[in-house]
């Protein structure tokens, strides 16, 4: 069975769409988070109000755009181990599109995509953010919330809210 990694992105705008941050939460509890340079002028008013103020709070999250693909691939390779496949779970198509763009379209053969929007319990997403005191519209926290809400909806036996806000140095 493939290892599930939940992803979420924040981006500048729906029309002039540039990646701002990428959050990844593996079933094992490991996380990856990166913030990349973005064109400030492309940001929507919503992004300026809800997303930008949340940036810069996690140490070592800043990443040069040209290093992002290698950092993500290295992290996923560590998570997957020697023989496992990885299933990238996302709730919004733009997250997948920005993810594969972040990889410079070098998606490994062992990496599959899975749209899980209908498998996410919105009440559990809300509960995750509220219980942990974490804001929505932060790529890492939203990826962790989706993992939690997916497991809760699937009837997982251990749905305890666990937050690990660390990054693994590649």
Q: How many structural domains does the chain have?
A: 1
Tell me what the pLDDT averaged over the chain comes to.
91
Enclosing domain of residue 13: 3-153
| Residue 98 belongs to a domain | yes
User: Residue 56 — left, alpha, or beta (φ > 0 → left; ψ -120 to 50 → alpha)?
Assistant: left
**Per-residue model confidence as pLDDT tens digits over 11-43:** 999 999 999 999 999 999 999 999 999 999 999
DSSP 51-115: IGGGTT-STT-B--HHHHHHHHHHHHHHHHTTT--EEEEESSHHHHHHHHHHTTT---TTEEEEE
**What pLDDT digit, counting tens, does each position of 111-145 carry?**
999 999 999 999 999 999 999 999 999 999 999 99
- Look at residue 166 and tell me if it is in a domain: no
Positive or negative: CA dihedral 117, 63, 74, 28 = negative
Model confidence, pTM: 0.90
Tell me whether residue 121 is in a domain: yes
Q: Is residue 33 part of a domain?
A: yes
Residue 165 lies in a domain: no
In a domain, 147, yes or no: yes
Instruction: For residues 99-117, give the mean pLDDT.
Output: 96
**Whole-number percent of the chain with pLDDT over 90:** 85
CATH number at residue 32: 3.30.420.10
Instruction: Supply the DSSP string of 6-49, one letter for each residue.
Output: EEEEEES-SSS--EEEEEEEETTS-EEEEE----GGG--HHIII
């Amino acid at each position: 069975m493939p290892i599930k990694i939940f992803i979420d992105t924040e981006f500048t705008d729906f029309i002039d769409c540039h990646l701002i941050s990428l959050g990844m939460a593996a079933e094992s509890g490991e996380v990856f988070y990166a913030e990349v340079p973005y064109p400030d002028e492309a940001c929507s008013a919503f992004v300026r109000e809800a997303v930008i103020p949340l940036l810069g709070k996690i140490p070592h999250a800043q990443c040069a755009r040209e290093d992002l693909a290698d950092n993500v691939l290295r992290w996923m390779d560590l998570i997957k181990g020697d023989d496992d496949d990885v299933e990238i779970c996302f709730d919004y198509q733009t997250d997948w599109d920005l993810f594969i763009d972040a990889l410079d379209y070098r998606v490994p053969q062992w990496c599959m995509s899975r749209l899980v929007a209908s498998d996410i319990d919105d009440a559990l997403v809300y509960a995750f953010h509220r219980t942990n005191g974490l804001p929505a519209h932060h790529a890492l926290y939203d990826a962790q919330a989706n993992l939690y809400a997916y497991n809760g909806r699937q009837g997982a036996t251990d749905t305890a809210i666990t937050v690990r806000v660390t990054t693994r140095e590649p």
